[in-house]
Structure 1
């Protein structure tokens, strides 16, 4: 619906719908909103009722962008607010998404990336997933990252945990472990740290469990730090504020073995992608958690 230079989508008034957000592709604000309408059914199960941080690009991808995690003025009501207690004991207002209208409202605020917490607002202290971000040195090939993802899958399987891969739209792969909401953040962080450090100890020429760029030469940083309270990871099906309008896309392990890059998928590919089977559908039936046995086996203790 058009009204005085605005387009009404999912009940949200989209101003300046013709504003170009991706110059090279000619993608407008309306095009990005259409993307989220297209992928919402698959995206929302992974974003609904999670605190979000937004990468906003008011003048498009090629201009200045900024990261926002707290509430601010001007947001449509469809982007919800939640006051939470932070690590230092103070309180701050955060944002979360409930539905398609919330995604479109984010686009109205020129959001090009949605990053989500690993827990939901009704049980904020109990994560329902782990995310291991495989972040390679620039000199490495995607084949190296792909191999690392499969090695990590096997490592997690040895602890009795199933996982699924997400290509980030950048250079890396996220290995995601859906969880029943039993363990709290300290246990999740301890487990993820232990997994990363063990893999580094066993193959120090391939893996690194520290974020230091100077030490990453020829290696892959297993970023376990996304598994702590307040940390975020790119949401499945989110666009990325990168050249080419890539999208972070869930894939199957079989599909990952065939992919040539982590930025394979773009906004223009999503219509066809939505016609294919949902690669993470099987996770709906998984019931796994960070039990004391799993933590002890991984050397994470009972923190």
Structure 2
């Protein structure tokens, strides 16, 4: 695949949805058509984070109450607006999945993709990530205020290293702190940086944070999941829906409003558009302009 011109965030779509009345979130009454309407509305903000990069999908053909499966490769019968991507290093089997425009996103809706998880690198430069993600995943008995405090500490450490930090709800249990990078460092360097940051926080506050995946060690603490920052790994996209009750979405927020956020699943397909309409500005508007090269140290 050759990367075309950037997609227009204001373009419409031409994809015809079959069975638009199919219910994907029974508890919230969200149908396939409702999901398409939501994505069409958020497309101008979502587009830069999901276009022209490999994607992993959580597909739920019968909705959230039916079978779920992750899809990283193309499949028979997929919408023609979904792109087949060739891994230039051949590290993955088969063609990977990508989209270039709103038609591609609607093709994912047609394919019952209820979650969209992009790589941290684009097809323009597969081997040099353009973002770093720290996923704060709270264990049992961790209060929401502690998750917010943890995200702020991640931000402070990133800024000390000369990097910008943006925050979003995960739509699940925690927060994601996302750093825009000027592509330069390779996957190994980005992963090592994130690992060092997580280890430093866990060493400084062992009662609050853990940098290992083991569930036995996570009770009462926040996992700082740095493994999102390795080749082939993904994290949920800004504005992506989640295959969870109430149709939550991963919502970009401003650091100044964190104290008003009540939980990771506060924003849903039902209330997200009202939030966007009421906003004076996109809290992530400066994301790409804030790209900086990755340093080598953490605080």
TM-score class, shorter-chain normalisation, is over 0.9
**Could you list the per-position Cα deviations for residues 136-177 of structure 1 after superposition, in whole angstroms to 9, with x for gaps in the alignment?**
102111111111000111111111111000101111100000
**Residues 250 and 279 of structure 1 are in contact (CA less than 8 Å); yes or no, is this contact kept in structure 2?**
yes
Q: Which moved more, 1:266-275 or 1:17-26?
A: 266-275
Task: Report how far residue 202 of structure 1 moved.
Answer: 0.8
Query: Superposed, which structure 2 residues align to 1:3-18 within 5 Å?
Result: 10-18=13-21
**Residues 84 and 97 of structure 2 are in contact (CA less than 8 Å); yes or no, is this contact kept in structure 1?**
yes
**Residues 59 and 112 of structure 2 are in contact (CA less than 8 Å); yes or no, is this contact kept in structure 1?**
yes
Name structure 1 gaps, 5 residues minimum. Answer: 1-8
The total of aligned residue pairs comes to 286
**Could you list the per-position Cα deviations for residues 217-254 of structure 1 after superposition, in whole angstroms to 9, with x for gaps in the alignment?**
11111000000100000000001000100010100101
**Residues 158 and 298 of structure 2 are in contact (CA less than 8 Å); yes or no, is this contact kept in structure 1?**
no
Q: In the alignment, is residue 105 of structure 1 matched against residue 107 of structure 2? A: yes
Q: In the alignment, is residue 56 of structure 1 matched against residue 55 of structure 2? A: no
**Could you list the per-position Cα deviations for residues 99-128 of structure 1 after superposition, in whole angstroms to 9, with x for gaps in the alignment?**
111111000011100000000011000100
**Residues 85 and 91 of structure 1 are in contact (CA less than 8 Å); yes or no, is this contact kept in structure 2?**
no
Q: In the alignment, is residue 37 of structure 1 matched against residue 51 of structure 2? A: no
SS in 1 for 2:287: helix
User: 2: distance between equivalents of 1:105 and 1:18?
Assistant: 16
User: 2: distance between equivalents of 1:30 and 1:188?
Assistant: 39
Q: Which 4+ runs in 1 deviate beyond 4 A?
A: none
Equivalent in 268, 271, 289 of residue 285 of structure 1:
289
Task: Report how far residue 86 of structure 1 moved.
Answer: 5.9
Compared with structure 1, are the counterparts of its residues 90 and 51 closer, same or farther at alpha carbon in structure 2 (3 Å cutoff)? closer
Q: In the alignment, is residue 176 of structure 1 matched against residue 168 of structure 2? A: no
**Residues 249 and 265 of structure 1 are in contact (CA less than 8 Å); yes or no, is this contact kept in structure 2?**
yes
User: 2: distance between equivalents of 1:113 and 1:197?
Assistant: 29
Q: Which moved more, 1:278-287 or 1:256-265?
A: 278-287
User: 2: distance between equivalents of 1:98 and 1:193?
Assistant: 32
SS in 2 for 1:234: coil
Instruction: Please name the residue that 1:69 is paired with.
Output: 72
User: 2: distance between equivalents of 1:194 and 1:90?
Assistant: 27
Task: Report how far residue 257 of structure 1 moved.
Answer: 2.3
Instruction: Please name the residue that 1:5 is paired with.
Output: none
User: 2: distance between equivalents of 1:63 and 1:91?
Assistant: 27
**Residues 86 and 92 of structure 1 are in contact (CA less than 8 Å); yes or no, is this contact kept in structure 2?**
no
Greater strand content: 1
Instruction: Please name the residue that 1:140 is paired with.
Output: 142
Query: Superposed, which structure 2 residues align to 1:219-298 within 5 Å?
Result: 219-275=221-277, 276=279, 277-290=281-294, 294-295=295-296, 297-298=297-298
Q: TM-score, normalised by structure 2?
A: 0.93
Task: Report how far residue 77 of structure 1 moved.
Answer: 1.0
User: 1: distance between equivalents of 2:56 and 2:63?
Assistant: 18
**Could you list the per-position Cα deviations for residues 32-60 of structure 1 after superposition, in whole angstroms to 9, with x for gaps in the alignment?**
01110010000001111010011111111
Supply the RMSD in Å over aligned alpha carbons.
1.4
